[in-house]
Amino acid sequence: MRFTLSTTSRGPLALMITSILGSFGGTVHAQTEGPAEPINQQEFVECKVRLEQRAVEAGVSPGTASEVMAQAELLDRVIELDRRQPEFTTTFADYLNRRVNEARVSKGREMLAEHRELLERVTEETGVPAPYLVAFWGLETNFGSYFGKMSVPSALTTLACDPRRSNFFTQQLIAALRIIDEGAIPADQMEGSWAGAMGHVQFMPTVFLQHAVDADGDGRRDLWNSLPDAMMSAGKFLQSMGWDGDYRWGREVLLPDGFDYSLADGRRLPLDQWRKLGITDAFGKALARADIKAKLVVPAGHRGPAFLVYDNFRVIMGWNRSEFYAIAVGHLADRVAGAGKLQNPPPEDAPALSRSNIMELQQALSDRGYDTGNPDGILGPATRSAIRKFQAASGMVADGYPGQAVLARLNVSTGN
């Protein structure tokens, strides 16, 4: 399965895609499986016959397969959305400010109080604290206010018939038919995102089959109309990925002057070692002496916030492979639980770079002897390493972040 999605795409769909822009990018990419030519109506009709047969062979009842496939429509809008390549990356400030704002924090606290009994039950069974469940819910569907308006059977049939990633979406379609077959929801009520994510917590059909539960005891796993089912399913999914109820997601920290930002490139060190390197909490107090391992994340360069993140951060990224998303979940959970804003908010004047801007940056660095590999428009580890070397040689803070000063020094254009 291969695709291109912005990090605004929701739910465990992103568990199955590979981020290649790292913590600085706002776009998730992956390759295509086949040719990009869209199908026509006749090809779609012929494809539906083949998919119906595949579904029956996979165990879907012939009645369900026949009825649902007969009603499935070719949705040109789904193809359009699947083809769309976001031109610009999203800055961390824009991403976080859109998702963790006062309205969402206030609503999250209201939901935490209103559904406390249910959420505490989920926490007791799964170990996932209530504020995190509320945070996922808030980011995925704005607390159930918008599930998506696409017919999931039609959207998945369209994508399964499209040559680009037919294998993946065929699996999702068959899973959706099995969900209809088990009586979880009628086909005409199965609505969700253009890519098939569904319900309060935007599960893909295969994730639904593996992790959705009937928590309200009505005999159905209903992630659309049953909040108990949705919240317990989210908790079970996070538990299955290794959520550790003894620890939080991470914390905002302060870095000392002269800090070596190459340490932010993925290595995990004991908290006590980060303490010895001069890192404090966000208020300047010493970190606890602890053996728990943490990774340093600096999503907006030295001018923005820094975070030490623990194993639960990795679990959040199992839900959506975006560091921006994982930070947003953790920070929103903290705010819902009563914490304040970030002590060092991200700068709002950071440039939003297009892929062509990044390729220009890579070429400019290579021309000056800083190896980025072949210019590909991807802000990966090699490019960040080259930026750090250029910054160090230029007397700048070597954070590996392509801020305005770096772009100006290299004469790299932005905004096109």
Q: What is the pLDDT of residues 142-168, one digit of tens each?
A: 999 999 999 999 999 999 999 989 999
Structural domain for 390, as ranges: 355-409
Residues 327, 260 within the same domain: yes
Identify the pLDDT of residue 415: 65
Give me the number of domains the chain comprises.
2
43-55 in b/e burial notation, b at 16+ Cβ within 10 A? ebeebbeebbebb
Residue 131 maps to a domain: no
**Residue 23: pLDDT over 80:** no
Residue 393 maps to a domain: yes
Residues 366, 288 within the same domain: no
Residues 312, 360 within the same domain: no
79-89 pLDDT, tens digit per residue, is 999 887 666 67
Identify the pLDDT of residue 31: 36
Residues 328, 264 within the same domain: yes
**Residue 259: pLDDT over 60:** yes
Residue 283 maps to a domain: yes
Residues 300, 332 within the same domain: yes
Which of 128, 119, 135 has its CA nearest to residue 242? 128
Kindly state the average pLDDT of the residues 251-267. 93
Identify the pLDDT of residue 32: 40
pTM for the predicted model, two decimal places:
0.89
Band of residue 6 on the pLDDT scale cut at 50, 70, 90 = very low
Helix (H) or strand (E) holding 294: strand 293-297
Which of 287, 308, 336 corresponds to the end of one domain?
Answer: 336
Residues 260, 301 within the same domain: yes
Residues 329, 366 within the same domain: no
Residues 260, 320 within the same domain: yes
Residues 369, 306 within the same domain: no
Query: Tell me, what amino acid is at 273?
Result: Q
Indicate the average pLDDT of the chain.
Answer: 90
Identify the pLDDT of residue 18: 33
330-348 pLDDT, tens digit per residue, is 999 999 999 999 999 999 9
Kindly state the average pLDDT of the residues 304-311. 98
**Residue 263: pLDDT over 90:** yes
Band of residue 14 on the pLDDT scale cut at 50, 70, 90 = very low
Residues 306, 372 within the same domain: no
Residue 158 maps to a domain: no
Q: Which residue has the higher pLDDT, 267 or 74?
A: 74
Which of 280, 301, 336 corresponds to the end of one domain?
Answer: 336
Classify burial at 226, counting beta carbons within 10 Å of its beta carbon; exposed 0-12, middle 13-18, buried 19 or more: buried
Which of 359, 346, 347, 345 has its CA nearest to residue 414? 359
Label each residue of 300-367 as H, E or C.
CCCCCCEEEECHHHHHHHHHCCCHHHHHHHHHHHHHHCCCCCCCCCCCCCCCCCEHHHHHHHHHHHHH
Residues 262, 316 within the same domain: yes
Residues 329, 382 within the same domain: no
Residue 303 maps to a domain: yes
Band of residue 403 on the pLDDT scale cut at 50, 70, 90 = very high
Residue 306 maps to a domain: yes
Kindly state the average pLDDT of the residues 168-184. 98
Residue 262 maps to a domain: yes
Among 10-14, 102-106, 364-368, which stretch is predicted with the lowest mean pLDDT? 10-14
Residue 193 maps to a domain: no
